[in-house]
A and B are shown apart, each in its own frame.
Chain A
Amino acid sequence: MKPSIFNVVPSAMFLVLLFLLTPKLASSAEVGDTISEHLQKQLNIPKGQVGVVDFFASWCLSCAKEIPDIKKMIKQDSQQKMYVVGIDVDENLDEGIAFQKELSIDFPVINDVNQTIISEFAPIAMPALYYIIDNKIVGKHIGAVPNIDEKIKNDLQQLGVKT
């Protein structure tokens, strides 16, 4: 008995349907991962400093709450042991810049309008904060963290960095 097209096609279609219905989960950057060369160039973290990469957006209220604490933390870092770089993931550049001006952000910020940088990190929630030493992710905080400045200080001490 020759296999009819109506025997093969439904099976194939069913497999395609199963594939389409399977959620595609983006793999997020984990502690221990090394960031890509392209990302290294973009972040431009100086050697000998701990890179603190903070992802934020104008629509993220928790991000807005954390930024003043991060600014306070930078002022306390007299020895400049850490290099904070903000990644604004607003798709609208004007909104992002207005938000940065509103919060008087004085640390370097990359406007990730195309959301390519955050896609590489793929955090499951916002705000997201990553520690990077020698292009390697050594720690992260996902979601809102109260008193993030104290948390960063403790984390850096645990990483052996005295601020």
Chain B
Amino acid sequence: MKQLMKKKLLLIICCCACSACSTVPVKSWQKGTLASETMRFGGPNSMIKKFDEHIYTSKESSKGGGGVSGGGCGCN
């Protein structure tokens, strides 16, 4: 029973160690991809964002506050 528990523990640790989780932070100069248009909600198509904003305005009777300043470089 104890052996089985140990094997299970070993298996869990192996799975964690070999998982795709990365703890390496993205460096400030590597944020080009994150800053690209395709990373925005709706992608490069601005109409999708406008449509989403229209739904939000209709439902909430409020608008604005959906933008993000800066170019994703972590400088603002």
Contact = CB atoms under 8 A, between A and B. Distances in A.
Interface of A: 6, 9-10, 13-14, 16-17, 20-26, 55, 57-64, 89-92, 115, 118-119, 122-128, 143-144
Contacts, number: 89
A145 B3 CA distance: 61
Given A23-B23, A23-B24, A144-B75, A62 B10 contact: no
B65 interface: no
Overall SS of chain B's interface: loop
B32 to A, nearest CB: 5
A14 B13 contact: yes
B32 A90 contact: yes
A17 B17 contact: yes
A11 B53 CA distance: 53
Interface of B: 3, 6-7, 9-10, 13-14, 16-17, 23-25, 27-32, 35-36, 70-76
Given A20-B23, A23-B23, A125-B28, A13 B72 contact: no
Contacts of A9: 10
Residue with the highest number of chain B CB atoms closer than 10 Å, among A17, A22, A62: A62
